A and B are shown apart, each in its own frame.
Chain A
């Protein structure tokens, strides 16, 4: 009887540890996503100002600016799932990077103090977003490993935990726009 109790106690303890481990990994993903979301929100808040300061000078970038505005409105919907948010953020980053490259064609815009300030802030936010993406990817990898590796996979399938997707950045997007270089041209 005593042996049975000890074995049952050990099994119970292992189950509790496995459960807590899975929950902490899931919460870690949620926490980091919340952090990423907060930085993304800062960028969304900045975009209307950015778009209005750019459109004064850039007649030919109308399509890109409209795309940025519509992506922003889509991304700000609170009902969005994390996967969709990630996809929208990727598209938004791509559109912004393209716009930053085209700024070269507008000398008046390049001289505008307000635009420069917004551009600097966006660049810094881009750095923070990149850090948050890396943190999110690491936490998702840890989470995915935990739900797929034995023996925690059994507990995870019992808890109906599903794989999460990591951020995938296209090769061209990995490199941030070097604005400093751009202006020195």
Chain B
């Protein structure tokens, strides 16, 4: 609450004057887009009549074709208009919120977690064809090095008719941090669907899946209900997943309400949070001068930056000191 009230002070004192200029820009874009919709609507109707009159199309086809054509033009204009605004929004809002939460963190709006790290995490072993991301945040909190960014990883697939389509393997936030204990092996944590839906049979099936290592059954009922764990060393996986850490992961799962996957590899902790959308993007329909709107971005960023504290990654075990 104290942090939120100091954010409010920071918002009005340090951000508000510049936001007014950005808000004018947002309003100008909204007006421009509304005008564009109006013009395109007329153009669409005109084009539709023209197609019908030409005699080559039946009314339904003419309507669909002109509608699609207008929509494409609108999307082109929308993207063009929003590009500059988006960049300014990230500079003046996202970067400043991050600075407010922790000034030692660095924000690179166009950068993202490197493919090497994504592959090294081992969470998604599938081959992918398109890898993109943005909004990289990195730095050290209490001597714990962290990095996180938006990621969108896709695979090219073909449907029954041979038509090419893009399938998302992962879209959301990818978080990497130094772990507070030393370990040699690999431990993976995934959401548990099989056991929850199929019970003992699901657990038996999970035991057969050896691609990630052995099935690790843990002595925390809520954690076991939510997650399935694989690892290449029964003892080491439990050394990593102490009762306290399992409790913290369960709490974090409840807090986000999102699908979480984690891995512990090469003394690092990798955490993937599924969002199915890009985070930290501007919403044109919402005013920047409303604190509640800015608060949403703050809460999301505070949640991610707070992972170090939530998982107590800063409480290093003796040998890591």
Q: Which residues of A contact B (CB under 8 A)?
A: 28, 32, 35-36, 39, 120-121, 123-124, 127-128, 130-132, 134-135, 137-139, 142
Partner of A131, one of B217, B239, B318, B321: B239
Contacts of A28 in B (CB 8 A): 234
Interface flags, B229-251, vs A, CB<8A=1, else 0 = 00001111111001000000000
Choose from B219, B237, B239, B317 the contact partner of A137 (Cβ within 8 Å): B219
- On whether the beta carbons of A134 and B238 are closer than 8 Å, the reply is yes
Give 11 CB contacts A-B under 8 Å: A28-B234, A35-B233, A35-B234, A120-B321, A127-B181, A127-B239, A130-B242, A131-B242, A135-B237, A138-B218, A142-B217
> Within the assembled complex, what's the spacing in Å between the Cα atoms of A131 and B218?
11
Q: Is the pair A139, B239 in contact by a Cβ cutoff of 8 Å?
A: no
- Kindly count the residue-residue contacts between A and B in the assembled complex, taking CB atoms under 8 Å apart: 46
Contact (Cβ within 8 A) A138 B235: no
Contact: A124 with B238, CB < 8 Å?
Answer: no
- Pairwise interchain contact A124-B317, C-beta atoms closer than 8 A: yes
Contact A135 B317 (CB under 8 A): no
How far is B234's CA from A137's CA once the two chains are assembled, in angstroms?
11
Pair B318/A121 contact, Cβ less than 8 Å: yes
From B181, B217, B239, B321, contact of A138 by CB (8 A): B217
Chain B residue nearest in CB terms to A179: B318
Given contacts A124-B319, A132-B235, A138-B217, 19 further A-B contacts (CB under 8 A): A28-B234, A32-B234, A35-B234, A35-B235, A121-B318, A121-B319, A123-B318, A124-B317, A127-B239, A128-B239, A131-B236, A131-B239, A132-B238, A132-B239, A135-B237, A137-B219, A138-B219, A139-B234, A142-B217
- Closest A residue to B234 by CB, please name it: A135
Q: Which residues of B contact A135 (CB under 8 A)?
A: 234-235, 237-238
Which B residue's beta carbon lies closest to that of A28?
Answer: B234
Q: How many angstroms from the CA of A121 to the CA of B321 in the assembled complex? A: 12
Is B317 touching A131 in the complex (CB atoms < 8 A)?
A: no
Find chain A residues with CB under 8 A from B233 CB.
35
Tell me the bound Cα distance from A39 to B234 in angstroms. Answer: 14
Residues in A neighbouring B321, C-beta threshold 8 A? 120
Q: Closest CB-CB distance, A25 to chain B, in whole Å?
A: 11
CB proximity of B255 to chain A, nearest CB, Å:
26
CB neighbours of B237 from chain A (8 A): 135
Task: Name the A residues within 8 Å of B217 (CB-CB).
Answer: 138, 142
Q: Which of B235, B237, B239, B317 has the most CB of A within 10 A?
A: B235
Q: Is the CB of A36 within 8 A of B235?
A: yes
B235 touches A120 (CB 8 A): no
| Assembly CA distance A153 to B234 (angstroms) | 25
In the complex, what residue of chain A is closest to B240 when comparing beta carbons? A131
Q: Chain B residue with minimal CB distance to A123?
A: B318
Give min CB distance, B180 to chain A, whole Å: 11
